[in-house]
Structure 1
């Protein structure tokens, strides 16, 4: 009886699914509480279910499940809730992935830290990309692997048992008491993992964190297909099946934009790309310099996914350590880079540097000629040998149009890999897929990066590739148009509130193609103590955002995004997406991102009204 009630309700939810659930990559922060991610949405959704209320307006009013869809979203939450209901378990125990191998790696990661044995059982086949040798050697995870024959009994195991099935029934899971983690693989959609038993509850947050940092949730489109299959409805055709044609368009466009000679590697999101870069470079280091330590050099206040993931890799992989690279505010990226590379040379270690240009949130660009000189400087180890050259891993999400890597690019002579988060300008906020390219000096590393992109099953989906094929060709024009609006808005703010501090690129940098459409706004403050000044500034920031999103609700959003097709997005702190980043490293200033299509006059008018009110 309960099963039919669930299926009938889901059938109506599928019919009345709000458009934003399928189309948005970032959701509203004004109805989102990070500490209640997913749970608040599920609680309110459960109330609608009990009341048999499936009206589209009621679904649209539900609180945001996650602020960013790679972490999870309304449709992934609904799918997980439905599977939990049908299996009489808690919905937090059900976790969907776009990847078919990452859920396995997530369990292995926790057991690696807990020194707990793992056996992986599979009934039909393992994920195609699963590479037992690489997972053990590069990731450092240990496990036993065994194929179950038809009807073969599962025996008790001193450790964790993972059971992998290729079950076409979306909601059918083997919840045997001797199985700790049941994973169903779906060829076109990804995978769903069920954490079985109260004794394994402690794994849930760790597995969720892997989904947050090293991959993405099953995409909205694929969750929608899974829900359609669940209720016996034919899946709708999105018309994105011609992957080869779409991918050719994407690769050709990226080559034109970046001037790089290597084919781009397309990932399901920016962090999927970064993870493949990290693990690919570690794999290369193990081959080329098996006895040397690896130092990942990363700014402590850069985008939190970058920061956190790098530290997670270092924590999990033997012989890898993080070194901080201060780049913002009073710190100069060039000086910091010179200093830290000298330290690494003295350790005779392998330097991998991750940096954003421009930086986030201060939108600063270092002196690029000086940076090139510092990166190419020959250094010696204590024994007098030539130190290992750094690999520069460049996050150029803010300015993907700048040709760092081409023959005449500023970094053409430095081993450089550049990557971009696709939810920003490449897709215009329509999907999360990202990409990376290398210059000629670093081209040899792309094979390893591609290997780990495939091993993690983190490649861009067919739909994501089709969206990039549609959006990428117009990217540079959108960047130019958005920059024009941003410059005009910044100039207006400077004239209207000259005591505000604005972090934005100079006209000279813009002439060199650094034309971001994001700026940070440090409003004037007052107070007798530092605490009072900080509190006043934060309150003023919030007042400004409240006025913008209230008076221009169709365009101004309290949201974390960049490169969107229309509107204006605001967030505080400017580093709110840092998640696990230390509170002391967060920057409580407003970050504003402007699109090529918005009512700029209206935004100016509301800002003027704000200034007159303070």
Structure 2
């Protein structure tokens, strides 16, 4: 492939860029094949390249690259494809990160599990946030460091060699036969890693990007590609960052009523990862030798479930304990039972739970929850057991005040976090944030240390978008709830045999006003298998009807809290993708906004009801 013709083509692509490539955080699941993430998109993109077709309509009709931009997106795929061609590589060997540090951690993680040595060679200096001692002591990763003048100075090594380079043009790599991985880092954009003939690492690196951080953002990929094709400087704008950050932190403090400094990460899972590693660090400092138990609902959001288990897989003293919370299981009773068991082991309990739960939208009795978390339990030798830390995912209802002075969880060590891709940003970015009550100040300092160590703080644009959207969040939540309540009541009236999971009017009066409900459609059949098969087909029939009849508003998509429209998904095949099969929910989950044609949605839903009656 001739370099100049490729770059000329990319210049045309950038001129005709679909706006969705820069602005969407989520994409339709009905045009996405997860097992072909990135490859299906790039195969079709290469076909356009060979035909020299950069028309906007052709680009718009390309298959979805990833369903969610935290994992990757069209522009990250294009950037990786370009870099691969410039350096004589396959596109799958190139992976871009918003973080400078996390691709290093991805290699270290795999080598830890494979019991393989790692040496890190670098020119100049390592990223400022790279804390070698903490990475070795808390993450359990093993490596040696070696400063070199160039990649040519790297000698053979019994294990993996990572070469880290710093240069303005992060698209050009110094690939050496003794370098198994080359990473170019950039303070504005993040990093790009090349797996040099180490194909068995590629899926592991991608999975770290999926679970502990995010891909290089669309805006930054766009800036890098423009700099490359126009031969201009590789830099990003930073104006107003301080003002935007101050505005965001003030808004979060005001919305949550929490006493601690808010922390803002590049995604909800970036924040959750910092929480987990910060708590592990604190436990090692203050409860030496004790086992750590992360207590997690087995059917919660798949990212939470998967990430928790991935952390535990790396550390012998960390274990996951299931916490049944939905349906026939009561969250408070489960917590009480699990905490009693952990006290009997003299271990450290960290509870991760969603309120309301996902996808059943259930809220426990909060006074009972507070009592269960506050209860003093004893170890077998009669000493008071380590008190739990409650890690509350309140993404469904980020407006509920749990932590402030005098609030329900103000006296229990509680950290609250939310995915910013939902209501905080209105679906415009992936950033997430967390706050703690006054009892968690020391823990929050550790969490901030690990957020920065992983280079997972929110990006400049994410702060800018949150600064614009957070002030209107609570009003948008109220408007979306009103639409959701009206739609739920409509369904109850016209399809009364369906089971709807949504908050009661009484809970709504207490401030729980989510805009998400789950719909368990009526079924028929002679056996349990026939009934399940019929219901699953009915889910798809409903969703396909909605997105076909109302394509401008109804999407088959995992998100919610958007500024407009309505989103439909089946948790078992989307948000619970890595959850154990027996814990998955094959029901429809519906998320409404405050800006949508509700009457049209009622009309189409009634058409669905009439088609199955």
Q: Which residue of 1 aligns with 2:429?
A: 431
Residues 539, 388 of structure 1: alpha-carbon distance in 2 compared, 3 angstrom cutoff: same
Q: Which residue of 1 aligns with 2:402?
A: 404
Instruction: Give, in whole Å, the separation in 2 of the partners of 1:428 and 1:129.
Output: 30
> Is it true that 1:279 corresponds to 2:277 in the alignment?
yes
Q: Is 1:123–1:164's contact at 8 Å kept on the other side of the alignment? A: yes
2:417 to 419, 422, 432: 419
2:241 to 233, 243, 253: 243
Q: Is 2:168–2:234's contact at 8 Å kept on the other side of the alignment? A: no
> Is it true that 1:130 corresponds to 2:121 in the alignment?
no
> Is it true that 1:549 corresponds to 2:547 in the alignment?
yes
Q: Which residue of 2 aligns with 1:226?
A: 224
Q: Which residue of 2 aligns with 1:17?
A: 17
Greater Cα shift, 149-158 or 133-142: 149-158
Superposed counterparts of 1:206-605, under 5 Å: 206-232=204-230, 241-573=239-571, 576-605=574-603
Q: Is 1:562–1:569's contact at 8 Å kept on the other side of the alignment? A: yes
Q: Is 1:489–1:600's contact at 8 Å kept on the other side of the alignment? A: yes
User: Shift of residue 318 of structure 1?
Assistant: 2.8
Superposed counterparts of 1:149-228, under 5 Å: 149=149, 153-197=153-197, 200-228=198-226
Q: Is 1:184–1:192's contact at 8 Å kept on the other side of the alignment? A: yes
Instruction: Give, in whole Å, the separation in 2 of the partners of 1:574 and 1:427.
Output: 26
Q: Is 1:225–1:235's contact at 8 Å kept on the other side of the alignment? A: no
The superposition leaves residues 531-567 of structure 1 with CA deviations (integer Å, 9 ceiling, x where unpaired) of 1001100111111111111111100001110100000
Instruction: Give, in whole Å, the separation in 1 of the partners of 2:37 and 2:265.
Output: 25
Instruction: Give, in whole Å, the separation in 2 of the partners of 1:563 and 1:238.
Output: 29
The superposition leaves residues 384-433 of structure 1 with CA deviations (integer Å, 9 ceiling, x where unpaired) of 00000000000000000000001121101100000000000000000000
Provide the secondary structure at the position in 2 that maps to 1:613.
Answer: helix
Provide the secondary structure at the position in 2 that maps to 1:202.
Answer: helix
Q: Is 2:223–2:235's contact at 8 Å kept on the other side of the alignment? A: no
Unmatched tracts of structure 2, length 5 or more: none
Q: Which residue of 1 aligns with 2:57?
A: 57
Q: Which residue of 2 aligns with 1:108?
A: 108
Once superposed, which parts of structure 1, at least 4 consecutive aligned residues long, lie more than 6 Å away?
235-239
User: Shift of residue 579 of structure 1?
Assistant: 2.5
Provide the secondary structure at the position in 1 that maps to 2:289.
Answer: coil
Residues 382, 572 of structure 1: alpha-carbon distance in 2 compared, 3 angstrom cutoff: same
Instruction: Give, in whole Å, the separation in 1 of the partners of 2:573 and 2:508.
Output: 23
User: Shift of residue 149 of structure 1?
Assistant: 2.8
Q: Which residue of 1 aligns with 2:48?
A: 48
User: Shift of residue 575 of structure 1?
Assistant: 6.1
Provide the secondary structure at the position in 2 that maps to 1:331.
Answer: coil
Instruction: Give, in whole Å, the separation in 1 of the partners of 2:119 and 2:477.
Output: 50
Provide the secondary structure at the position in 2 that maps to 1:345.
Answer: helix
Unmatched tracts of structure 1, length 5 or more: none
Q: Is 1:84–1:90's contact at 8 Å kept on the other side of the alignment? A: yes
User: Shift of residue 269 of structure 1?
Assistant: 0.2
Provide the secondary structure at the position in 1 that maps to 2:168.
Answer: coil
Q: Is 2:490–2:602's contact at 8 Å kept on the other side of the alignment? A: yes
User: Shift of residue 442 of structure 1?
Assistant: 1.2
User: Shift of residue 578 of structure 1?
Assistant: 2.4
Provide the secondary structure at the position in 2 that maps to 1:557.
Answer: strand
Over aligned residue pairs, what C-alpha RMSD do you find?
Answer: 1.3
Q: Is 2:524–2:530's contact at 8 Å kept on the other side of the alignment? A: yes
User: Shift of residue 299 of structure 1?
Assistant: 0.3
Q: Is 1:576–1:586's contact at 8 Å kept on the other side of the alignment? A: no
Residues 166, 249 of structure 1: alpha-carbon distance in 2 compared, 3 angstrom cutoff: same
User: Shift of residue 239 of structure 1?
Assistant: 6.5
The superposition leaves residues 551-608 of structure 1 with CA deviations (integer Å, 9 ceiling, x where unpaired) of 1110000111010000000011366222221222110100000001000000000011
Instruction: Give, in whole Å, the separation in 2 of the partners of 1:592 and 1:233.
Output: 46
User: Shift of residue 347 of structure 1?
Assistant: 0.3
Q: TM-score, normalised by structure 2?
A: 0.98
Greater Cα shift, 567-576 or 51-60: 567-576
Instruction: Give, in whole Å, the separation in 2 of the partners of 1:548 and 1:150.
Output: 57
Provide the secondary structure at the position in 2 that maps to 1:549.
Answer: helix
The superposition leaves residues 229-284 of structure 1 with CA deviations (integer Å, 9 ceiling, x where unpaired) of 11126589987621110111111111111000111000000000000000000000
Q: TM-score, normalised by structure 1?
A: 0.98
Provide the secondary structure at the position in 1 that maps to 2:308.
Answer: helix
Provide the secondary structure at the position in 1 that maps to 2:571.
Answer: coil
Provide the secondary structure at the position in 1 that maps to 2:108.
Answer: helix
Instruction: Give, in whole Å, the separation in 2 of the partners of 1:607 and 1:163.
Output: 56
The superposition leaves residues 194-244 of structure 1 with CA deviations (integer Å, 9 ceiling, x where unpaired) of 0001xx110000010000000000000001011111112658998762111
Q: Is 2:451–2:457's contact at 8 Å kept on the other side of the alignment? A: yes
Q: Is 1:240–1:466's contact at 8 Å kept on the other side of the alignment? A: no
Q: Is 1:361–1:575's contact at 8 Å kept on the other side of the alignment? A: no
Q: Which residue of 2 aligns with 1:70?
A: 70
How many residue pairs get matched? 612
Residues 164, 150 of structure 1: alpha-carbon distance in 2 compared, 3 angstrom cutoff: closer
Greater Cα shift, 236-245 or 292-301: 236-245
Q: Is 1:574–1:591's contact at 8 Å kept on the other side of the alignment? A: no
Instruction: Give, in whole Å, the separation in 2 of the partners of 1:214 and 1:440.
Output: 27
Instruction: Give, in whole Å, the separation in 2 of the partners of 1:443 and 1:489.
Output: 42
Residues 497, 237 of structure 1: alpha-carbon distance in 2 compared, 3 angstrom cutoff: farther
Greater Cα shift, 232-241 or 433-442: 232-241
Q: Is 1:140–1:318's contact at 8 Å kept on the other side of the alignment? A: no
The superposition leaves residues 113-153 of structure 1 with CA deviations (integer Å, 9 ceiling, x where unpaired) of 11100000001111110000000000000000011035862
Residues 26, 235 of structure 1: alpha-carbon distance in 2 compared, 3 angstrom cutoff: farther
Provide the secondary structure at the position in 2 that maps to 1:577.
Answer: coil
